[in-house]
Amino acid sequence: MSRFVLILALFSGLTFLTPAASAQQNIIHEKQSLYRNIVVAQNGSERCMLFRARRGMGRESCKDMANPKEFVFRYASMMLGSLFLNPSPERILIIGLGGGTLPEALQEMLPDTTIHTVEIDPAVEQIAYDYFDYVPGPNTQNFISDGRVFVKRAMNAPEKYDLVMLDAFEADYIPEHMLTRDFLEEVTQVMTPDGVLAANTFSRSALYDYESATYQAVFGEFYNVKYANRIVLAKRGGLPPMDVVRENARIWDVELRSRDANPDFVLPIMSTRVDWDTSIPILTDQYSPSNVLNTMSRR
Protein backbone atom coordinates (compact mmCIF):
# COMPACT_ATOMS: atom_id res chain seq x y z
CA MET A 1 0.00 0.00 0.00
CA SER A 2 1.41 3.41 -0.93
CA ARG A 3 1.88 6.18 1.57
CA PHE A 4 -0.82 8.31 -0.10
CA VAL A 5 -3.40 5.52 -0.07
CA LEU A 6 -2.60 4.85 3.58
CA ILE A 7 -3.13 8.49 4.46
CA LEU A 8 -6.54 8.45 2.82
CA ALA A 9 -7.51 5.22 4.49
CA LEU A 10 -6.54 6.21 8.01
CA PHE A 11 -7.17 9.96 8.34
CA SER A 12 -10.88 10.27 8.96
CA GLY A 13 -11.40 13.51 10.89
CA LEU A 14 -11.56 15.96 7.99
CA THR A 15 -14.88 16.41 6.17
CA PHE A 16 -14.59 15.46 2.52
CA LEU A 17 -17.12 15.98 -0.25
CA THR A 18 -17.17 13.42 -3.04
CA PRO A 19 -17.39 14.69 -6.63
CA ALA A 20 -21.15 13.92 -6.60
CA ALA A 21 -21.69 15.85 -3.39
CA SER A 22 -19.56 18.73 -4.66
CA ALA A 23 -21.69 18.92 -7.79
CA GLN A 24 -24.76 19.58 -5.64
CA GLN A 25 -23.19 22.77 -4.38
CA ASN A 26 -23.10 26.06 -6.24
CA ILE A 27 -19.47 26.81 -7.05
CA ILE A 28 -19.02 30.57 -6.94
CA HIS A 29 -15.23 30.80 -7.21
CA GLU A 30 -12.24 28.65 -8.17
CA LYS A 31 -8.58 29.49 -7.80
CA GLN A 32 -5.43 27.53 -8.57
CA SER A 33 -2.88 29.00 -6.17
CA LEU A 34 0.81 28.21 -5.80
CA TYR A 35 -0.10 25.59 -3.19
CA ARG A 36 -3.50 24.12 -4.01
CA ASN A 37 -6.73 24.17 -5.98
CA ILE A 38 -9.25 26.22 -3.98
CA VAL A 39 -13.00 26.19 -4.48
CA VAL A 40 -15.63 28.38 -2.82
CA ALA A 41 -19.04 26.69 -2.87
CA GLN A 42 -22.40 27.60 -1.44
CA ASN A 43 -25.35 25.46 -0.35
CA GLY A 44 -28.22 27.60 0.86
CA SER A 45 -26.72 30.21 3.17
CA GLU A 46 -23.70 28.02 4.03
CA ARG A 47 -20.55 29.02 2.17
CA CYS A 48 -17.41 26.86 2.31
CA MET A 49 -13.79 27.07 1.26
CA LEU A 50 -12.66 23.70 -0.07
CA PHE A 51 -9.23 22.37 -0.97
CA ARG A 52 -9.03 19.67 -3.62
CA ALA A 53 -7.83 16.48 -1.92
CA ARG A 54 -7.19 12.95 -3.13
CA ARG A 55 -10.74 11.89 -2.31
CA GLY A 56 -12.94 14.75 -3.33
CA MET A 57 -12.93 18.17 -1.72
CA GLY A 58 -11.91 18.83 1.88
CA ARG A 59 -13.94 21.52 3.68
CA GLU A 60 -11.41 23.86 5.25
CA SER A 61 -13.69 26.66 6.43
CA CYS A 62 -17.45 27.30 6.34
CA LYS A 63 -19.63 30.24 7.27
CA ASP A 64 -23.39 30.67 7.50
CA MET A 65 -23.75 33.92 5.58
CA ALA A 66 -27.25 34.45 7.04
CA ASN A 67 -25.97 34.00 10.62
CA PRO A 68 -22.30 35.01 10.38
CA LYS A 69 -21.63 35.00 14.13
CA GLU A 70 -22.61 31.35 14.56
CA PHE A 71 -19.97 28.66 14.11
CA VAL A 72 -20.67 26.02 11.46
CA PHE A 73 -18.02 23.62 12.77
CA ARG A 74 -17.91 22.36 16.37
CA TYR A 75 -14.13 22.53 16.37
CA ALA A 76 -14.24 26.35 16.55
CA SER A 77 -16.12 26.16 19.86
CA MET A 78 -13.57 23.63 21.08
CA MET A 79 -10.66 25.87 20.08
CA LEU A 80 -12.20 28.73 22.06
CA GLY A 81 -12.07 26.42 25.06
CA SER A 82 -8.53 27.81 25.29
CA LEU A 83 -10.11 30.87 26.91
CA PHE A 84 -11.13 28.61 29.79
CA LEU A 85 -7.41 28.23 30.56
CA ASN A 86 -6.72 31.96 30.18
CA PRO A 87 -9.83 34.15 29.82
CA SER A 88 -8.00 37.38 28.97
CA PRO A 89 -5.00 36.87 26.65
CA GLU A 90 -3.30 40.10 25.59
CA ARG A 91 -1.48 38.69 22.54
CA ILE A 92 -2.72 35.85 20.32
CA LEU A 93 -1.03 34.03 17.45
CA ILE A 94 -3.18 32.01 15.02
CA ILE A 95 -1.40 29.83 12.45
CA GLY A 96 -3.82 29.06 9.61
CA LEU A 97 -6.37 31.65 8.46
CA GLY A 98 -8.95 29.78 6.38
CA GLY A 99 -12.03 31.95 6.07
CA GLY A 100 -11.06 33.95 9.15
CA THR A 101 -13.57 32.36 11.54
CA LEU A 102 -11.33 32.27 14.63
CA PRO A 103 -9.61 35.67 14.31
CA GLU A 104 -12.95 37.30 13.49
CA ALA A 105 -14.57 35.88 16.63
CA LEU A 106 -11.60 36.68 18.85
CA GLN A 107 -11.21 40.26 17.70
CA GLU A 108 -14.90 40.85 18.49
CA MET A 109 -14.64 39.13 21.87
CA LEU A 110 -11.29 40.72 22.79
CA PRO A 111 -11.18 44.10 20.99
CA ASP A 112 -8.09 45.30 22.86
CA THR A 113 -6.07 42.12 22.26
CA THR A 114 -3.29 42.01 19.67
CA ILE A 115 -3.95 39.19 17.18
CA HIS A 116 -1.44 37.94 14.62
CA THR A 117 -2.60 35.50 11.95
CA VAL A 118 -0.22 33.54 9.73
CA GLU A 119 -1.25 32.06 6.38
CA ILE A 120 1.11 30.58 3.83
CA ASP A 121 -1.18 31.07 0.84
CA PRO A 122 -2.01 34.65 -0.24
CA ALA A 123 -4.91 33.26 -2.29
CA VAL A 124 -6.55 31.97 0.90
CA GLU A 125 -6.21 35.40 2.51
CA GLN A 126 -7.77 37.10 -0.51
CA ILE A 127 -10.66 34.63 -0.59
CA ALA A 128 -11.29 35.25 3.12
CA TYR A 129 -11.65 38.95 2.30
CA ASP A 130 -13.69 38.58 -0.88
CA TYR A 131 -16.01 35.67 -0.09
CA PHE A 132 -16.18 35.33 3.71
CA ASP A 133 -16.43 39.02 4.63
CA TYR A 134 -13.32 38.78 6.78
CA VAL A 135 -12.14 42.21 7.88
CA PRO A 136 -9.11 42.38 10.22
CA GLY A 137 -9.74 44.60 13.23
CA PRO A 138 -7.47 47.50 14.21
CA ASN A 139 -5.40 45.21 16.46
CA THR A 140 -5.26 42.29 14.00
CA GLN A 141 -2.36 41.84 11.59
CA ASN A 142 -2.08 39.16 8.91
CA PHE A 143 1.25 37.71 7.81
CA ILE A 144 1.85 35.68 4.64
CA SER A 145 4.38 33.07 5.71
CA ASP A 146 4.94 29.42 6.42
CA GLY A 147 3.85 28.99 10.03
CA ARG A 148 7.07 27.36 11.16
CA VAL A 149 9.21 30.02 9.50
CA PHE A 150 7.16 32.71 11.27
CA VAL A 151 7.62 30.97 14.63
CA LYS A 152 11.39 30.66 14.12
CA ARG A 153 11.66 34.38 13.44
CA ALA A 154 9.37 35.27 16.34
CA MET A 155 11.52 33.31 18.80
CA ASN A 156 13.92 36.25 19.04
CA ALA A 157 11.22 38.90 19.43
CA PRO A 158 10.80 40.37 22.92
CA GLU A 159 6.99 40.16 22.79
CA LYS A 160 5.52 36.74 23.50
CA TYR A 161 2.05 35.30 23.00
CA ASP A 162 -0.42 34.42 25.76
CA LEU A 163 -2.33 32.14 23.38
CA VAL A 164 -1.14 30.24 20.32
CA MET A 165 -3.65 28.50 18.04
CA LEU A 166 -2.44 25.91 15.54
CA ASP A 167 -5.05 25.52 12.81
CA ALA A 168 -3.00 24.98 9.66
CA PHE A 169 -4.17 22.24 7.28
CA GLU A 170 -3.29 21.09 3.82
CA ALA A 171 -5.93 19.28 1.79
CA ASP A 172 -5.53 16.01 3.71
CA TYR A 173 -3.93 16.88 7.06
CA ILE A 174 -1.61 19.14 9.04
CA PRO A 175 1.73 19.90 7.34
CA GLU A 176 4.12 17.35 8.79
CA HIS A 177 6.79 19.89 9.76
CA MET A 178 4.20 21.32 12.20
CA LEU A 179 3.66 17.99 13.97
CA THR A 180 7.09 17.37 15.44
CA ARG A 181 8.61 17.89 18.87
CA ASP A 182 11.13 20.27 17.30
CA PHE A 183 8.34 22.54 16.07
CA LEU A 184 6.35 22.42 19.30
CA GLU A 185 9.47 23.29 21.29
CA GLU A 186 9.95 26.29 19.01
CA VAL A 187 6.33 27.27 19.68
CA THR A 188 6.98 27.27 23.43
CA GLN A 189 9.71 29.84 22.82
CA VAL A 190 7.19 32.36 21.47
CA MET A 191 4.78 31.81 24.39
CA THR A 192 4.67 33.61 27.72
CA PRO A 193 5.70 31.51 30.76
CA ASP A 194 2.05 30.59 31.39
CA GLY A 195 0.98 30.74 27.73
CA VAL A 196 -1.79 28.51 26.39
CA LEU A 197 -1.69 26.34 23.27
CA ALA A 198 -4.76 25.18 21.29
CA ALA A 199 -4.06 22.74 18.45
CA ASN A 200 -6.65 21.43 16.01
CA THR A 201 -5.98 17.77 15.11
CA PHE A 202 -7.97 14.64 14.23
CA SER A 203 -9.72 12.47 16.79
CA ARG A 204 -8.95 9.38 14.72
CA SER A 205 -5.87 8.96 12.55
CA ALA A 206 -2.83 6.75 12.05
CA LEU A 207 -0.82 9.44 13.85
CA TYR A 208 -3.05 9.86 16.90
CA ASP A 209 -0.78 8.00 19.34
CA TYR A 210 2.36 9.63 17.92
CA GLU A 211 0.88 13.12 18.07
CA SER A 212 -0.37 12.60 21.61
CA ALA A 213 2.98 11.33 22.83
CA THR A 214 4.70 14.27 21.16
CA TYR A 215 2.45 16.90 22.75
CA GLN A 216 2.89 15.20 26.12
CA ALA A 217 6.68 15.19 25.72
CA VAL A 218 6.70 18.96 25.18
CA PHE A 219 3.86 20.20 27.41
CA GLY A 220 3.26 17.40 29.91
CA GLU A 221 -0.37 16.83 30.85
CA PHE A 222 -2.91 18.44 28.51
CA TYR A 223 -6.67 18.60 28.08
CA ASN A 224 -7.88 16.36 25.27
CA VAL A 225 -11.07 17.78 23.76
CA LYS A 226 -12.57 15.22 21.40
CA TYR A 227 -15.65 15.29 19.23
CA ALA A 228 -15.31 15.00 15.44
CA ASN A 229 -11.94 16.73 15.69
CA ARG A 230 -9.52 16.55 18.62
CA ILE A 231 -8.29 19.80 20.19
CA VAL A 232 -5.18 19.73 22.34
CA LEU A 233 -5.31 22.38 25.09
CA ALA A 234 -1.97 22.75 26.84
CA LYS A 235 -0.43 25.36 29.12
CA ARG A 236 3.15 26.16 29.97
CA GLY A 237 3.65 25.80 33.68
CA GLY A 238 0.88 23.23 34.08
CA LEU A 239 -2.88 23.03 33.59
CA PRO A 240 -5.35 24.89 35.79
CA PRO A 241 -7.68 22.54 37.71
CA MET A 242 -11.17 21.96 36.35
CA ASP A 243 -12.85 24.17 38.97
CA VAL A 244 -10.79 27.11 37.65
CA VAL A 245 -11.55 26.08 34.06
CA ARG A 246 -15.29 26.08 34.83
CA GLU A 247 -15.07 29.49 36.51
CA ASN A 248 -13.27 30.93 33.46
CA ALA A 249 -15.89 29.36 31.19
CA ARG A 250 -18.61 31.28 33.02
CA ILE A 251 -16.89 34.55 32.07
CA TRP A 252 -17.49 33.75 28.40
CA ASP A 253 -20.81 31.93 28.73
CA VAL A 254 -23.12 34.59 27.25
CA GLU A 255 -20.75 35.56 24.43
CA LEU A 256 -20.11 31.97 23.39
CA ARG A 257 -23.80 31.06 23.46
CA SER A 258 -24.48 33.96 21.09
CA ARG A 259 -22.21 32.14 18.63
CA ASP A 260 -23.95 28.80 19.13
CA ALA A 261 -20.83 27.73 21.07
CA ASN A 262 -22.21 26.36 24.31
CA PRO A 263 -19.58 25.94 27.07
CA ASP A 264 -21.76 23.09 28.37
CA PHE A 265 -20.79 21.21 25.21
CA VAL A 266 -17.04 21.78 25.58
CA LEU A 267 -16.52 21.28 29.32
CA PRO A 268 -17.78 17.65 29.54
CA ILE A 269 -15.49 16.53 26.71
CA MET A 270 -12.32 18.01 28.25
CA SER A 271 -10.24 15.21 29.69
CA THR A 272 -6.67 14.52 30.79
CA ARG A 273 -7.14 10.77 30.40
CA VAL A 274 -4.27 9.13 28.54
CA ASP A 275 -5.94 7.22 25.70
CA TRP A 276 -2.85 6.57 23.57
CA ASP A 277 0.05 4.14 23.56
CA THR A 278 2.64 5.82 25.79
CA SER A 279 5.42 3.55 24.51
CA ILE A 280 5.08 4.94 20.99
CA PRO A 281 8.01 7.06 19.71
CA ILE A 282 7.49 10.79 19.49
CA LEU A 283 7.58 12.67 16.20
CA THR A 284 10.73 14.63 15.41
CA ASP A 285 12.15 16.33 12.35
CA GLN A 286 14.14 13.13 11.79
CA TYR A 287 11.26 10.75 12.63
CA SER A 288 8.40 12.49 10.91
CA PRO A 289 4.87 11.50 9.90
CA SER A 290 6.11 10.38 6.47
CA ASN A 291 8.55 8.00 8.19
CA VAL A 292 5.72 6.57 10.28
CA LEU A 293 3.36 6.09 7.36
CA ASN A 294 6.00 4.61 5.10
CA THR A 295 6.89 2.12 7.83
CA MET A 296 3.24 1.15 8.26
CA SER A 297 2.74 0.74 4.49
CA ARG A 298 5.50 -1.89 4.41
CA ARG A 299 3.89 -4.06 7.10
Q: Please count the other Cβ atoms lying within 10 Å of the Cβ belonging to residue 187.
A: 26
Is 171 within a domain?
A: yes
pLDDT at 291: 83
Regarding whether 204 and 59 lie in a shared domain, the answer is no
What pLDDT is attached to residue 59? 84
Residue 131 lies in a domain: yes
Q: What is the pairing mode between strands 229-235 and 223-226? A: antiparallel
Domain interval for residue 13: 3-64
Catalytic site residue from 167, 253, 260, 277:
167
167 is catalytic: yes
The model's pLDDT over 188-209, given as tens digits with 9 standing for 90+, comes to 999 999 999 999 999 988 999 9
Residue 50 lies in a domain: yes
Instruction: Specify whether 108 is located in the same domain as 33.
Output: no
Please indicate, yes or no, whether residues 253 and 158 belong to a single structural domain of this protein: yes
**CATH code, domain with 144:** 3.40.50.150
Is the pTM of the predicted complex or chain greater than 0.85? yes
Give me the residues of the chain with pLDDT under 70, please.
1-24, 53-57, 171, 294-299
Q: Mark whether 234 and 126 lie in a shared domain.
A: yes
Residue 37 makes CB contacts below 8 A (sequence gap 6+) with: 30, 31, 51, 52
Percent of the chain residues topping a pLDDT of 70: 88
